[in-house]
Structure 1
Amino acid sequence: MEFFQHYEAAVDWVVNLCPPPDKFAHTYVGLLIWVLTGIVTRRPLYMARTLLPVIGLELVNEMIDRVAHGGWMWHDTLADMAATWFWPFVLCFCLRAFPALTGHKPRPKPVLTPSAQHEIKGPLAPVPPVRATDGHDV
């Protein structure tokens, strides 16, 4: 139980750093986790994988809240999840749907051409017929 008391104290400290209501703290922490995930994993923020830690850590936070408060407070729990996940999901979707937002121009697709060693030059030589052991052409 000591862990839960320390965890709640840390959460209260973070919430006190943010303007009221506590949903702002959820929003800021969700964005922070999302950006740090991209930095640590060196993956672009438009990848869905960068959302997984945001989802997982918020679920763990809500489970700890459930244990600390002795039960689910569904209205608060669902509002906390929405506040934490909203902006990372929206920004991830926008970066994925509109690549120009990243400032990078899409790479031109390479033109596939046969390599010189596989190019056919001139007519093919006729293939000689193959005879089976019974004397018929195969």
Structure 2
Amino acid sequence: MDIPALYHQFILWIGDGTGLPDAILHIHAGLAILLAVRVVTGRSLGTFIPFAVVVVAELGNETMDYLAYGMRWSDTLSDMANTWFWPFVISLAVRIRPMVLRDRPRG
């Protein structure tokens, strides 16, 4: 049983079924994983734990791509950026927001 090939077929099935390009699927996957981990664990996005799971999931995805295709740096870096960007920005914003509100003068 060739697990990387089966995984690749599943990913192609998702892409074909949605009609979305790979970059958009990475964006959606990153956000979906971030929110799912937030709901399942109950941990705040500001703890960076949900974001860490997004990072691990994408590294797993890229490992499967590597096993199926070999190393393709431009594709790998693009996939990681698309998957991680918005989950990181959201996690950072949630982390910073309480500090900004706490430091604001009261009046």
Scaled to the shorter chain, the TM-score interval is: 0.7 to 0.9
Q: Report the structure number with the largest CA radius of gyration.
A: 1
Q: Which amino acid aligns with 2:32?
A: L
The alignment's C-alpha RMSD in Å is 1.8
Runs of 4+ in 1 over 6 A off after TM superposition: none
Q: Which amino acid aligns with 1:7?
A: Y
Superposed, which structure 2 residues align to 1:1-138 within 5 Å? 1-16=1-16, 17-20=18-21, 22-69=22-69, 71-99=70-98
Whole-Å Cα distance in 1 between the matches of residues 14 and 42 of structure 2? Answer: 26
Deviation at 1:10, TM superposition (A): 1.1
> What's the secondary structure of 1:43's corresponding residue?
coil
Overall identity of the aligned pairs, in %: 37
> What's the secondary structure of 2:45's corresponding residue?
coil
Deviation at 1:18, TM superposition (A): 4.9
**Runs (5+) with no aligned partner, structure 1:** 107-138
**Runs (5+) with no aligned partner, structure 2:** 103-107
Paired residues of 1:18 and 1:25 also in contact (CA < 8 A) = no
Q: Which structure shows the higher helix fraction? A: 2
Structure with more contact order per residue of length (Cα contacts < 8 Å, sep ≥ 6): 2
TM-score normalized by the length of structure 1: 0.67
Whole-Å Cα distance in 1 between the matches of residues 14 and 94 of structure 2? Answer: 28
Q: Which amino acid aligns with 2:2?
A: E
TM-score normalized by the length of structure 2: 0.85
Paired residues of 1:18 and 1:24 also in contact (CA < 8 A) = no
| Count of residues paired in the alignment | 100
